[in-house]
Copies of this chain bind each other. A is one copy, B any other.
Amino acid sequence: MPSEQSTATAAPPRPVRRSRAPRGSLSSDLILDHALRLLDEKGLDAFSMRALAEDLGVGTMALYTYFRGKDELFRAARDRVLAAYTPPSAEGSWDQRLRAACIAVHELFTGRPAVLRLLAESTGNDDFIDTATAAMDRMLALLREGGLGREDAARAYGTLSRFTIGSALREVRVCARPEALEAFRARIAALPPERFPHLSDLAPELLLATENGGDQYEYGLDLILCGIRALAQQPASAATGS
């Protein structure tokens, strides 16, 4: 101990001195709740361990009792979101059910913008939660039910997966942001029509398509499903016949 503190020795920078939080005031679930709320409200960039701890009314290092670090916390948050996925009711033909399943995944993604970025940036080195694996298995089942061969089913799944995440990313980053929409509108209106004739000509349609991203996803999904149905009706690859 350095020395006794005299009455008015100008406390260094006034760190506010929170009183120590009581023993049971933290848990993995509580931390994840606040983390997901913070991520949804302030975004991934504004998130920090310090901000999360302050939001919880707790010292920063208390978080490390429950998670090894930021990465593990993020993985847990991602899994929590994926676990909330509930497959749509199984009605209709195989392609109708496949369509519904894809849309459900897409809505799950776009509903949690910050977590979507975590998903997009994941290297795929770590396990997914059972819910996600089950969803994958179900989609493969539907593709097989539609009559696709083993290889076609695997590749068609890959196509749907790639399109879904790309689409969700796009919507989260631009379609859902009024500022980005306005910037897009201004940019497209300022283009010289003589140099970019088709862009200028289709400006209203492009703008409209950008404004409501969900419709755009379903539109593209139907294009892909059209190709998949063509596969289903023929033994060999029908899509490549250009």
Residues of A within 8 A of B (CB): 93, 95-96, 99, 117, 120-128, 130, 133-134, 136-137, 140-141, 144, 150-151, 153-159, 161-167, 169-170, 173-174, 177, 179-180, 183-184, 187, 191, 195-199, 201-202, 205-206, 208-210, 216-217, 219-220, 222-228, 230-231, 237-240, 242
Contacts and interface: CB of A to CB of B under 8 A. Distances in A.
Contacts of A220: 155, 158-159, 162-163, 224
B140 A198 contact: yes
Contact of A137 (B130, B179, B197): B197
B123 A173 contact: yes
A209 B158 contact: yes
Copies of this chain: 2
A166 B187 CA distance: 24
Looking at A130, A195, A199, A230, the one whose CB has the most chain B CB atoms below 10 A away is: A199
A220 B224 CA distance: 8
A123 B180 contact: yes
A78 to B, nearest CB: 14
Contacts of A191: 133
Given A144-B198, A167-B166, A242-B99, A154 B206 contact: yes
